[in-house]
Amino acid sequence: MSWDLQSIYILASGMERAREQIDITTNNMANAATPGFKKILEREMTQDVKFTKKDLGSLEDNLKNYFVDPKVSPEMIKSYKDDIHKYTKVINDTLHFARFRDTKVIYTQGALKHTGRKLDLAIEGRGFFVIKIKNKRVLTRDGHFFIMPDGKLVTSQGYSVLDKNGTPIILPPTLSEEDIYIDSQGNLYYKNIKLTTLKIEDYEEIKPLGKNFYEGIGKVKKPKYYIYQGYLEASNVNIVKEMVKLIENQRRYEMSANLIRALDTLNNESNDLGRV
């Protein structure tokens, strides 16, 4: 009986991890063309859990609660109780599960693509543009910026870009994109007049928030970067590798599901053989 229980739990936990990996891989693939997107990796771990007498008692209690329905025959209740007591053979057995560990943002450099547009900015090295969404500050590597009619510098979603003091950048409304020069350290100039400086931050780790935004976690690090005006950083997703990973996890899921069905069939056949 122990091999039934352990095998099914291992396969079921593996299926859950495969499904999560498929979700993350498809998200990476969907953002392969998103400027500044960083690939996300889910890491797994193995967890060992002992099946104890307390666990057996919980199964029995659940059984009692489940079969209060008067439509369930006494014979059926007895049959299920007998099955539950077979689990006494696996008390103190160690069950092994595939567990979620964490998700990591892969912080490798994406290729720089020339656009020629003055408000397309790409960061080479470590660092993020700082954006304000409502009352929250977030990070992004997507430097596809615009000037609003009131002079505010914003992202393609309309969120404010912050300067080195943490305040939204507002340029003279009379300026156009073509009037602006941005140097390698994020200083914005009109002709020879310095207007402001982009805020660039870096952290020990970053957490994805969705919509190509990130949150810095851990220690603040000194950013080491070079800004290119007229360029956008491409995603660091390798679409071919992600496709291979997607196929591998789909096969992993299907293989586990087929093995569970095979174990269930084998268990039913062994029960039928015992009644002969």
pLDDT of residue 51: 62
pLDDT of residue 215: 95
* Residue 68 confidence class, pLDDT cut points 50, 70, 90: low
What confidence tens digit (pLDDT) does each residue in 142-200 have? 999 999 999 999 999 999 999 999 999 999 988 888 999 999 999 999 988 999 999 99
pLDDT of residue 274: 47
What confidence tens digit (pLDDT) does each residue in 94-138 have? 666 666 777 889 999 999 999 999 999 999 999 999 999 998 999
pTM as predicted:
0.75
3-state secondary structure the chain: CHHHHHHHHHHHHHHHHHHHHHHHHHHHHHCCCCCCCCCEEEEEEEEEEECCHHHHHHHHHHHHHHCCCCCCCHHHHHHHHHHHHHHHHHCCCEEEEEEEEEEEECCCCCCEEECCCCCEEEEEECCEEEEEECCEEEEECCEECEECCCCEEECCCCCEEEECCCCECECCCCCCHHHEEECCCCEEEECCEEEEEECEEEEEEEEEEECCEEEEEEEEECCCEEEEECEEECCCCCHHHHHHHHHHHHHHHHHHHHHHHHHHHHHHHHHHHHHC
276 vs 255, residue with greater confidence: 255
pLDDT of residue 76: 66
The whole-angstrom separation of Cα 250 and Cα 260 is 16
Percent of the chain with pLDDT over 90: 57
* Residue 3 confidence class, pLDDT cut points 50, 70, 90: very low
Average pLDDT over the chain reads 84
